[in-house]
Amino acid sequence: MDTKQRILDEALTLFSEKGYANVFVGDIAERVGIKAPSLYKHYKSKRAIFDAIIEEMNRRFEEQAKAMNINGSNAAADAKVYENMSEEHLLGLGRQFFLYFLHDDYNKRFRKMLTIEQFHDKELADLYTKLYVDDPLSYQGMLLGMVAQAGLLKTDNVEIMTLHFYAPIYYLLTICDRDPSREEQALKTLDEHIRQFNRLYGRTK
């Protein structure tokens, strides 16, 4: 990987562990294997590194969103996929979502960084809300909506049902971010949550 990219990568790691203000330009440089002044050949300032991370993140997420829409925009067709969905499928859905967010390295670090920096300015707060609140909710709302369409879930309020599906996932995610040693237990809880969710909302009693 070229140096410019490595700088972003190491900076993100450090920012996610200690927060922007507690990371020194020298720390980043050291990790990359160069001296602090050399960083300035690639970025104008420490702030510029942070901004570049945010930019790249936006790029990645847009990309990802686009990819999702390709499979997600045609609800009528996709609903068929869910026509014979079982509890196992639902479990898979939740687990996949959870593990992706939890273990995908870029996601994990970025989420932690945003958690730390979210109160610095409104833009970051909005980004956090978009990435970890609104987008997952609307995406999963769409999926669960289709499953309900297919007659496998019963509710008169998809939004609240989706909240009931996602809030515990979010909650467990924040626990694991803070303390990875809880992952195993969180995964068990996740399974129980989804099974119970299915019992509560599933049509096939």
Partner DNA sequence: AAATACGGCTAATTTGAATTAGCCGAACAA
Partner DNA sequence: TTGTTCGGCTAATTCAAATTAGCCGTATTT
Q: Which residues bind DNA (CB under 7 A)?
A: 2-3, 23-26, 29, 34-38, 40-42, 44-47
Nearest residue (CB) to DNA, 29 versus 127: 29
Give the bridge partners for 191, in sequence order.
Answer: none
Output the smallest distance, CB 134 to a second copy, in A: 9
Shortest reach from residue 128's CB to DNA, in Å: 23
Over 62-79, what HEC string results?
Answer: HHHHHHHHHHHCCHHHHH
For residue 121, the number of C-alpha atoms closer than 13 Å in the C-beta half-sphere is 2
Per-residue b/e over 39-63, b at no fewer than 16 CB within 10 Å? beebbeebeebbebbbebbeeebee
Nearer to DNA, 32 or 127 (CB): 32
Backbone angles phi, psi at 83, to 5 degrees: -60, -35
List, in order, residues 6 or more apart from 175 with CB less than 8 Å away: 182, 186
Among a second copy, DNA, none, what does residue 125 contact (CB within 5–8 Å per kind)?
a second copy
Quote the least distance from Cβ 84 to a second copy, whole Å.
Answer: 24
Cβ proximity to DNA, 7 vs 172, nearer residue: 7
Q: Shortest distance, CB of residue 48 to DNA, whole angstroms?
A: 8
Using left for φ > 0, alpha for ψ between -120 and 50, and beta otherwise, residue 116 falls in alpha
Binding site for a second copy (CB under 8 A): 16-19, 21-22, 112, 115-116, 118-120, 125-126, 128-129, 133, 157, 159-161, 163-164, 166-168, 170-171, 175, 178-179, 189, 192-193, 196, 200-201
Q: Minimal distance in Å, beta carbon 202 to a second copy?
A: 12
